[in-house]
Structure 1
């Protein structure tokens, strides 16, 4: 998050319980945020966790990227892209690209494929997660996307990437190149 501007408009898609808002405002207290969450329950939790001092700086939207209007200096999608099919991801990314200004930074963190032979335990964990989300949230995704391929089809250039947990989790920063 230290790459984000000190001031400006930030879009958070799929923010879950709101922990990302607290961390964002700890580092960048002057930002304005549009916070979009498809789950009404998660949206309510996020609103309750947000300190009163920052409530005027956040616009909460119950919905998806299709419900967002405007242009943003930064975009955050943590653990979001992996819950959509490849076709849904492509449509989503086209819409998100329209919301980005020139030089907008997009912070992404998600699960990634690392090779079944090297890390068989990751495949077991991923298949368990897919089953859990299929049962609990009716998410029918059965494999992770190739993020490099996904981003290469859109006007974003990767500036950096780090991996964690045996390379199963990655965090990357992309820049809009319009």
Structure 2
């Protein structure tokens, strides 16, 4: 099964903190202040579910969270998290197979798109865009190689160490998680092309980790 981290589920968080310290955690936690007091939240690829406990600290009740995760072992870990008074619906599926007749106020995609080949990334972006309400928020966190100048996306890559580091990561995760991607996709043009507006933009780990909050246009 593609993009499934069952083999390293138990060690995933420890590996992340060993390499990136708390940069990956902070990049996601600092976005949570954008969550509404009440509403529907879709989290795609949340891993071991530690983010659910962080959400409960900030919003102890009032949220309906749909948690979509392809890894059965990651899902099992997530289901043991303290979620406060929030409702969490756990969905064991790849996002490509997920559908809902309801729309969401917020969508979270933590380190999701770095798993996908370009064709699948485009498909999943469109799918999630259709699930987000007008004027809804998309909390996007991922690795970053590109640059932006004067509000425009450039084609430049990051420094050499980022490119080398990312190449090593992809080799490891192809072995450990059967990841289909072989290079990082710059997702910013997708958001720009869909007329999303940037509400917040932050970088971590010497700009190797990108944290962005996008607002969907009222169509």
- 1:134 maps to which residue? 174
Query: What pairs up with 1:63-82 in 2 under 5 angstroms?
Result: 63-65=93-95, 66-69=97-100, 70-82=102-114
- 1:2 maps to which residue? 33
Q: Distance in 1 between matches of 2:202 and 2:107?
A: 18
Q: Distance in 1 between matches of 2:137 and 2:94?
A: 19
RMSD of equivalent CA atoms? 1.6
Shift of 1:58: 0.4
1:119 equivalent in alignment to 2:159? yes
| 8 Å contact from structure 1 (residues 94, 154) kept in 2 | no
4+ residue segments displaced more than 3 Å: none
Change (3 A) 1:75 1:49: same
Shift of 1:158: 1.8
- 1:42 maps to which residue? 74
TM-score, structure 2 as length reference: 0.75
- 2:52 maps to which residue? 21
Shift of 1:154: 2.5
SS at match of 2:203: strand
Shift of 1:155: 4.5
- 2:209 maps to which residue? 169
| 8 Å contact from structure 1 (residues 18, 50) kept in 2 | no
Query: What pairs up with 1:153-164 in 2 under 5 angstroms?
Result: 153-164=193-204
- 1:148 maps to which residue? 188
| 8 Å contact from structure 1 (residues 16, 37) kept in 2 | yes
Shift of 1:166: 1.0
| 8 Å contact from structure 2 (residues 71, 92) kept in 1 | yes
Q: What do the CA deviations read for 1:110-153 (whole angstroms, capped 9, x no partner)?
A: 1011555x622212211111001111111131211122212223
